[in-house]
């Protein structure tokens, strides 16, 4: 298994990215080092790399403890986070390459939740780690950018191949889908995903991953062209125009209060 989720805090996910060739692994977004190190041991792996998506504590809070436990660990950090990634050793920017054993990942700059938020895309694994930017059926709050910034960042992720698996930073899926249904109550793909998610969550299973292709079918923040979604928003705000960024901003504003 190439990607192993490790639950963190109340609803965060860290992920072990495993290079089967060398049994080396990296960890995306470590909040609690003890749980991550236990998973590394349990699977007989060697942790070499830390891959933070952004500087918020629930994504980097375990970095210092990891480095204490494993001296020499490589800790990547986005230049746009201006040194706020604890224990950072290597600065990266949009378009740069990260390494985990023989695996190679591409850094994609996706600002808006934070100015330096990045995703890691591993073509060999057909997987992207999206942190708090693209969630399953949702997106992150726009803390440091503008609505336009988030629209552009989401578009970069949506441009990845449809088969790309999406591994996000939080288990927010069920609530995201409930919100999405308020905007597109007759979207069948959305209704199906909601039923599926309720069932697997009731069984205590994780809702990750989805795929980029699936997200385009039910994620309201990737569906600003949907006539039903637009009509729902215009019913609430008749002054709302057809501008895609304005549509996105209205949906994001409603979700902030949902």
Instruction: Determine if the peptide bond prior to 128 is cis (ω within 30°).
Output: no
Q: Closest distance between Fe ion and the C-beta of residue 43, in Å?
A: 24
Among the residue ranges 2-10, 56-64, 184-192, 231-239, the one whose residues contact Fe ion (CB under 5 A): 56-64
Task: Pick between residue 58 and residue 81 the one whose CB is nearest to Fe ion.
Answer: 58
Task: Pick between residue 31 and residue 177 the one whose CB is nearest to Fe ion.
Answer: 31
Q: What is the 3-state secondary structure (H, E, C) of 160-180?
A: CCCCCEEEECECCHHHHHHHH
Q: Torsion over CA of 26, 50, 221 and 12, rounded to 10 degrees? A: 90
Q: Closest distance between Zn ion and the C-beta of residue 122, in Å?
A: 21
Point out the residues that are catalytic: 54, 56, 58-59, 113, 132, 170
Task: Pick between residue 75 and residue 183 the one whose CB is nearest to Zn ion.
Answer: 75
Q: Closest distance between Zn ion and the C-beta of residue 22, in Å?
A: 31
Among the residue ranges 25-33, 69-77, 132-140, 172-180, the one whose residues contact Fe ion (CB under 5 A): 132-140
Helix (H) or strand (E) holding 255: helix 244-256
Q: Closest distance between Zn ion and the C-beta of residue 17, in Å?
A: 19
Q: Closest distance between Fe ion and the C-beta of residue 206, in Å?
A: 16
Site string for Fe ion, 148-187 (x = CB under 5 A): ---------------------x------------------
Per-residue DSSP letter, 94: T
19, 32, 58, 215: which one binds Fe ion (CB under 5 A): 58
Cβ contact 224:251 at 8 Å: yes
Site string for Fe ion, 73-112 (x = CB under 5 A): ----------------------------------------
The DSSP string of 97-125 is EEEETTEEEEEEE--SSSTT-EEEEEGGG
- For binding to Zn ion (CB under 5 A), which residues are involved? 56, 132
Task: Pick between residue 15 and residue 194 the one whose CB is nearest to Zn ion.
Answer: 15
Task: Pick between residue 58 and residue 184 the one whose CB is nearest to Fe ion.
Answer: 58
Three-state DSSP class for residue 97: strand
Would you count residue 29 as binding Fe ion (CB under 5 A)? Answer: no
24, 132, 171, 184: which one binds Fe ion (CB under 5 A): 132
Q: Which tokens sit at 118?
A: 């990045």
Based on the number of CB atoms within 10 Å of its own CB, is 191 exposed (0-12), middle (13-18) or buried (19 or more)?
A: middle
What is the β-pairing status of strands 118-122 and 165-168? unpaired
**Rounded CA gap, 153 and 26, in Å?**
24
Cβ contact 7:13 at 8 Å: yes
Q: Which tokens sit at 205?
A: 């299973």
**Interface positions with Fe ion (CB under 5 A):** 58, 132, 169
């Amino acid at each position: 298994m190439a990607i192993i989720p490790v639950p963190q805090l109340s609803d965060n996910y860290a992920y072990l990215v495993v290079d089967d060739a060398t049994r080396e692994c990296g960890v995306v977004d470590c909040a609690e080092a003890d749980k991550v190190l236990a998973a590394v041991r349990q699977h007989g792996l060697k942790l070499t790399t830390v891959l933070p998506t952004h500087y918020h504590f629930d994504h980097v809070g375990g970095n210092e403890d990891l480095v204490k436990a494993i001296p020499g660990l490589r800790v990547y950090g986005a230049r746009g986070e201006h040194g706020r990634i604890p224990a950072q050793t290597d600065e990266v920017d949009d378009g740069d390459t990260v390494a985990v054993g023989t695996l190679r990942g591409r850094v994609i700059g996706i600002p808006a939740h934070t100015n330096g938020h990045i995703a890691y895309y591993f073509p060999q694994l057909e997987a992207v780690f999206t942190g708090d930017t693209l969630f399953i059926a949702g997106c992150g709050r726009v803390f440091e950018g503008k609505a336009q910034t988030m629209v552009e960042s989401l578009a970069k992720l949506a441009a990845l191949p449809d088969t790309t698996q999406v591994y996000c930073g939080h288990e927010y899926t069920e609530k995201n889908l409930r919100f999405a249904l308020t905007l597109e109550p007759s979207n069948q793909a959305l209704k199906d995903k909601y039923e599926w998610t309720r069932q697997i969550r009731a069984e205590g299973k994780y809702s990750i991953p989805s795929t980029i292709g699936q997200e385009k079918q039910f994620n309201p923040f990737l569906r600003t062209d949907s006539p039903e979604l637009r009509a729902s928003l215009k019913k609430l705000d008749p002054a709302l125009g057809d501008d895609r960024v304005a549509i996105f901003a209205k949906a994001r504003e409603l979700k902030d209060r949902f």
